[in-house]
Amino acid sequence: MEETDRLLDCTFCRIRLFIISTGPFHYYIPAAAEDNLIYIPYWRIRGLAYTIGPLETTNRYFDTSLKAIPLQGLTPSLGVRPQAMKLRFLTPDTPGQFLRPTMKAEEVLPQGSPSTGVRSHDIFIGDTVSLIYTPMVLKNDTLHDAFTRQPAVPWSEGDGKMYPVLNPAERDRTRFIATLCPHCGQDLQGTKDTLLLTCKNCQSMWSCEGTSLQSIPFAVMEGYGTNLHYLPFWRMKLRFDGIPLTSVADLVRIANLPRPVTPALEEKQVFFWAPAFKINPALFLRWARQITIYQPDDDCVETIPIQPLYPATLPLKEAVESAALTLGGIVTDKRMFLTNLGRMQIKIEESRLVYQPFVERGRELIHEKMKVVLDRNALTFGAFM
């Protein structure tokens, strides 16, 4: 299984199970069985990183691992091991001693700039956080790398007291939920990496919140072409503290759009949009900005189409965080925006998942309404994020 997989096919009971965890998922890199195995925790963090500056917004994709305990002499990163080696879920029965992390993931991430003055500001979107344990062998008061057999870091009795091991209850984090529709009992459908499951029997959509399935409001923008594919986008009604932005007319003014302000636009609610799937950082920002400016208001239905639905892999919480990026990309007074960004509070008042129609032409997907092109290779790249 991949680290982002959330669905498991059980061959015994012949149903699909949704994988959840009480906190970040815990994995370990398996090593050959031997005595005195000690596993060292590292945070693995993947996602999209943006830096908003006075003149431009830069972006990058990151996949990094950072040590989760401040043990002196420990290598700060696992390098390519999490990507190149197989990972397994940590269970209470896994042999070995697993050290409890003492540093939170937020503490090891690079911090954003201060909120005063016109400076750059860092925003992370769609980050996947998990804990990866790498094996060490204790020999002669020294931890040796279990794969290279090279000495890695000294280990004393005092270190053993300073860095206690996980107890069996702390290892038992993984839970499984049967993917049966809470409304009608039919099997829910979804790809292995999806966060949302669909029921075509009762036309409903579900996400896993905590330890139960919760209904998600959705809509499908009707398409009329052939070879249609539907891609998911989050539509959000947001409130920005200190910024009057409730109507489309407000959006036109704040972004200086070439569009006349009419009484109808003064009454029309503005929505912020973001892809509900992972793509490269530049395309994610471009699509969020373009659809927010476009403000689609096409007729929608609450019926799951027979055409392919692309899986929703970006949670709503991450989409809300992207709204600051979208706003920063369209406002004209970027210095004022950047000065207030660190103090800005974004509150969500309403959300809906909207599937929008794209026409397939070769390796391209063309938005049926906007006529904007998305290369299918970008979706392939996003599937590995």
For residues 309 and 230, give the distance between their C-alpha atoms in angstroms, rounded to a whole number: 5
Of 141, 172, 203, the last residue of a domain is 172
> Which residues lie below 8 Å from residue 194, measured CB to CB, with a gap of 6+?
6, 7, 311, 312, 313
Number of structural domains the chain divides into:
2
For residues 243 and 373, the answer to whether their CB atoms sit within 8 Å is: no
Evaluate whether residue 3 is within a structural domain: no
Evaluate whether residue 116 is within a structural domain: yes
Same domain, 71 and 166: yes
Of 172, 207, 242, the last residue of a domain is 172
Evaluate whether residue 316 is within a structural domain: yes
Pairing of strands 37-52, 121-139: antiparallel
Evaluate whether residue 374 is within a structural domain: yes
Q: Dmax over Cα atoms in the chain, in whole Å?
A: 79
Same domain, 267 and 371: yes
The phi-psi region of residue 54 (left if phi > 0; otherwise alpha if psi is between -120 and 50; otherwise beta) is alpha
Same domain, 222 and 168: no
Same domain, 297 and 376: yes
Same domain, 131 and 241: no
Domain that holds residue 316: 217-383
Q: What is the dihedral of CA 88, 90, 92, 94, to 10 degrees?
A: 50
Q: Which residues of the chain have pLDDT under 50?
A: 112-117
pLDDT digits 0-9 by tens, 136-151: 999 999 999 999 999 9
Same domain, 312 and 167: no
For residues 210 and 214, give the distance between their C-alpha atoms in angstroms, rounded to a whole number: 9
Please report how many Cα atoms fall inside a 13 Å half-sphere around the Cα of residue 101, on the Cβ side: 23
Evaluate whether residue 248 is within a structural domain: yes
Q: Each residue of 254-276: b (16+ CB within 10 Å) or e?
A: bbeeeeeeeeebeebebbbbbbb
> What pTM does this model have?
0.87
Task: Write the single-letter amino acid at 125.
Answer: I
pLDDT for position 1? 62
Same domain, 162 and 256: no
- In 226-315, alpha helices (H): 248-255, 263-267, 281-294
Pairing of strands 174-178, 196-199: unpaired
Evaluate whether residue 311 is within a structural domain: yes
The phi-psi region of residue 232 (left if phi > 0; otherwise alpha if psi is between -120 and 50; otherwise beta) is beta
Of 146, 172, 198, the last residue of a domain is 172
Give the end-to-end CA distance of the chain in Å, rounded to a whole number: 14
Query: Which one-letter DSSP state was computed for residue 248?
Result: H
For residues 366 and 225, the answer to whether their CB atoms sit within 8 Å is: no
For residues 259 and 249, give the distance between their C-alpha atoms in angstroms, rounded to a whole number: 9
Evaluate whether residue 178 is within a structural domain: no
Evaluate whether residue 371 is within a structural domain: yes
Same domain, 144 and 221: no
Q: What is the Rg, in whole angstroms, of the alpha carbon atoms belonging to the chain?
A: 24
For residues 333 and 243, the answer to whether their CB atoms sit within 8 Å is: no
Going 149 to 151 to 156 to 158, the CA torsion angle's sign is: negative
Q: Is 286 helix (H, G, I), strand (E, B) or coil?
A: helix
> Which structure tokens are listed for 63?
């996949």
The 10 Å Cβ neighbour count of residue 305 is: 17
